[in-house]
Chains A and B, each alone.
Chain A
Amino acid sequence: MLEAPPAPFPLLSAHALSKRFPGVVAVDNVSLELRAGEVHALLGENGAGKTTLISMLYGLVPPDEGYVSLFGEPVRLRAPKDAIARGVGLVAQHFMLVSRHTVAENIALGLPGTPFFRPTRRLKRRILELGKRYGLNVDPNAYVYELSAGEQQRVEIMKALVRNAKILILDEPTGVLTPQEADGLFEVVRRMKGEGHGVIFITHKLGEVLDVADRITVLRKGAVVGTLPREGADATTLARMMIGRDVVLSRVASAPPRPGLVLELSGVSARNDRGVVVLKDISFRLREGEILGVAGVAGNGQLELAEVLTGHRHVTAGSVSLAGRELGRASIRETFERGVAHIPEERNGVGVVPGLSVGENLALRHYRYPPFSRGGLLNAAATQRFAEASVREYGVSTPSLQTRTGRLSGGNIQKLVLARELSERPGGAVKLVVAAHPTYGLDIGATEQTHRMLVGERDRGAGVLLISEDLEELFRLSHRIIVMFGGKVMGIVEAEGADRGLVGLMMAGGTPKGTYA
């Protein structure tokens, strides 16, 4: 690849930035440089302050101390428009798109120089042009709500490119992408770099960092631990810098499943909210002490499968039997009482109520059973004891039980959900764990802990259905892996010694014999 000529000054530098929120120092005296033609990775645990740092670089959050220079010039970024005007583009961790608008309308929004009437009219050509130049495929006329996460991300990048961004900041861009989409993203990043632009790249995946980054800065508790060039870095060092100890994520040794059946699906079909058939004739079995992985690109029925098993959705055909008893039209509460634990895909809306306190969220399932309540009256002492014990046992790090749950980092919210879901219930212990993307957005420390919890359940004899887009995770934990495509089971493989290429092929709709279904 062609090296861009060295610029006399960095594209962007942060000078001793600090930012405090009530009770936390989110960013602590951080200095950072982004050079021309450089991909600079930012690593750090959940809550390390990565998002806060880049929010200051983009004018979303004013720093308490320190300042930012762009192209060698100190600037005051009062609002995002100051940053945009100087060539900074941001693809936020949570997409900033108007889902009911078209792609072109989203890109035209606030873009200087668009005509007053029909502002998207000239833009469409430019979108297609830039799309070709950077290998970014987006349809300007599509509505954003119709797009997959990967496509939405391309719109975000296009928004920055159309505004002539020379500095692109990507906050955990690969979390929502399939492996193919991630490769596409890296290609865009390489092309930007080839043009002498700079990219700041936040991720929890060390493999990606080592693939695309030129330099790596590690943050811990808001402060810089160190900045390394790519050549001097390896996964073990980086992990140790991030969390201050060694982490090993390797295949988890396991005993073979026990003979008892936890779950049996035969011929299950279901429709989504719009009435479209999204599960077609699904059959499989899950044994006690088994982790069954479910692989597939998002939107191929996995979400609905989890909903069927947890009482959120009822089947239109076929039967589900849980520990030998028909699930029928069991409600969400009944599935809970019958021993189903649900780790939902959306931690922050389905998993917890962000506006309620940590203690209240922990009691959300149990509040109606003794000793938590009697005769309709809550027992605050019992709830408190339960919450304290859960927080301790699962290592939820929170200022207090009264803290608003939405304030916690992703990792801690996930620990809270696990603590609540894996707990004892009136009907006894957990029999089936349905976990959807349980480690999405989590740092490696929290990922390791989540994996340990799931394995713990498995060893206790529960069956675990692990839905994930992360093939590494699936192969590491599962006994067997189901591959779903278009609402159907394409095949079931043994994880040990499986052919990953074959799994990838089935995820794209291919059958083991290579014909498309």
Chain B
Amino acid sequence: MELESWLVSTVARSLAFSTPLLWAALGEIYAERSGVVNLGVEGMMILGAIAGFMAAQTTGSPLLGIVAAASVGGLAGLLHAFIAITLRADQYVSGLALTILGLGLAGLVGRAYVGVPLSNPMQAVTVPGVTSLPVVGPALFTGQHLLTYAGLIVAVLLSVLLFTTRLGVVIRSAGESPAATDALGINVIKVRYLCVVFGGVMAGIAGAYLSLAYRPSWTEGMTAGMGWIALAIVIFAAWRPVRAIFAAFIFGACFHLAFRLQEVFPPEFLQMLPYLVTILSLTLIALGRGGRQAGAPAALGVPYTRGER
């Protein structure tokens, strides 16, 4: 019984923790599938968190908070898109700059809100009809937020979109071989802009989940490196949305366990755990014979110029 309740709460909290990781990773998967890497996920997330908090606090509507977070995240993505795609600057540098900018800006704007609890936070929901299932019911269907379930559904939809539709072929082609895509009359620049902005929107929502639902308040640096973990999840999931669900859950569990096992292990070690798992998983992926399908999009990180050689 002891074990069961321990298991239930661990799974439930891991799932809750995996939600922001999943949203951010899904957005980054699309950006990278189109050929643009964005190391600014952390910055876009934190901007989403503060924007969402401010909007929800002023209007009293968590929904408007999410809209604001998505918009601000999208704008941050647009900035990266402009620098990386139009100006063809180094994508890694631009993304890093975006992270630093986002953290700084959010800290500055959020000063007045530090320690203020959100007046009308998002409410947890209970999925009717399935809560009575043993273990699974309380672990997965009680006390979670709508964004958690939405994230799972969005992951499946994004997978369908990416692998079975015309738009999906276009996006994947832009990231694999922009020259071939362009030669068939597709506007590679537009596709990449779209995906990078979408990545920003998703990161913004991930941030809003933190400040509106997970811990309804504003703390400086509240994303605590989750943006970086999301980037690792993208690779761990081999750029596949459905796999990102499982990857995000594993990382979410690491974070939760780090907190949970504090009495047994030194907390410093546990705080390292998610990052250790990241390094370990990246090493395993690199060593494994994943075949061609497991690799990164072939043109990832390479700006495209028509006729360049």
Contacts and interface: CB of A to CB of B under 8 A. Distances in A.
A110 B165 contact: no
Contact of B184 (A101, A110, A115, A406): A110
A119 B170 CA distance: 11
B186 interface: yes
B47 to A, nearest CB: 33
Contacts of A119: 165-166, 169
Given A84-B185, A406-B309, A98 B180 contact: yes
A98 to B, nearest CB: 5
A118 B164 contact: yes
Given A55-B307, A60-B306, A109 B165 contact: no
Interface in B143-162: none
Contacts of B306: 60-61
A99 B164 contact: no
Given A116-B165, A116-B167, A117-B164, A101 B172 contact: yes
Interface stretch (A89-97, A361-369, A377-385): A89-97
A101 B173 contact: yes
A159 B184 contact: yes
Binding site of B, secondary structure by majority: helix, strand, loop or mixed? helix
A145 B176 CA distance: 12
A98 B175 CA distance: 9
A119 B182 CA distance: 18
Nearest to B177: A98
A98 B292 contact: no
Contacts of B183: 58, 60, 80, 90, 92, 96
B257 interface: no
Interface residues of B, number: 25
A114 interface: yes
A85 interface: yes
A117 to B, nearest CB: 6
Nearest to B289: A274
B63 interface: no
Contact of A60 (B169, B170, B307): B307
A383 to B, nearest CB: 26
Contacts of A117: 164-166
B185 A81 contact: yes
Nearest to A110: B184
Contacts of A106: 180
Contacts of B292: 100, 145
A61 B167 CA distance: 26
B176 A109 contact: no
A92 B176 CA distance: 17
A117 B170 CA distance: 13
B283 interface: no
Contact of B177 (A97, A111, A116): A97
Interface string B281-309: 00000000000110000100000001101
Nearest to A94: B179
| Interface range, A side | 35 or more
Interface in B171-212: 172-173, 176-177, 179-187
A105 interface: yes
A84 B184 contact: yes
A114 B166 contact: yes
A96 B166 contact: no
A108 B169 contact: yes
Given A96-B179, A109-B173, A61 B184 contact: no
A60 B179 CA distance: 10
Given A97-B180, A98-B172, A159-B184, A115 B298 contact: no
Nearest to B183: A96
A79 interface: yes
A61 B181 contact: no
Contacts of B172: 98, 100-101
A99 B176 contact: yes
A60 B180 CA distance: 11
Nearest to A107: B184
Interface string A71-94: 000000001111011000010100
B185 A85 contact: yes
B166 A116 contact: yes
B76 to A, nearest CB: 29
Contacts of A108: 166, 169
Interface in A398-423: 406-407
A131 B186 CA distance: 25
Contacts of A100: 172, 176, 292-293, 298
A348 to B, nearest CB: 9
A118 B179 CA distance: 23
Contacts of B166: 108, 114-117, 119
Contacts of B293: 100
Contacts of B165: 116-119
A5 B167 CA distance: 42
Contacts of B184: 80-81, 84, 96, 109-111, 159
A110 B166 CA distance: 8
Contact of B173 (A92, A98, A114, A118): A98
A98 B164 contact: no
Given A99-B176, A105-B169, A110 B298 contact: no
Contacts of B164: 117-118
Contacts of A99: 176-177, 298
Interface in B38-88: none
B185 A98 contact: no
Contact of B185 (A79, A97, A101): A79
Interface in B234-279: none
A63 B187 CA distance: 20
A358 B306 CA distance: 24
B157 to A, nearest CB: 12
A80 B180 contact: no
Contacts of A81: 184-186
A109 B179 contact: no
Nearest to A21: B307
A55 B179 CA distance: 13
6 contacts: A60-B306, A81-B186, A96-B177, A101-B172, A115-B166, A407-B309
Given A80-B184, A98-B177, 18 more contacts: A55-B307, A60-B307, A61-B306, A80-B182, A80-B185, A84-B185, A90-B183, A95-B180, A96-B184, A99-B176, A100-B172, A101-B173, A108-B169, A109-B181, A116-B165, A145-B292, A406-B309, A407-B309
The 5 closest A-B pairs by CB, nearest first: A81-B185, A96-B180, A110-B184, A119-B166, A110-B186
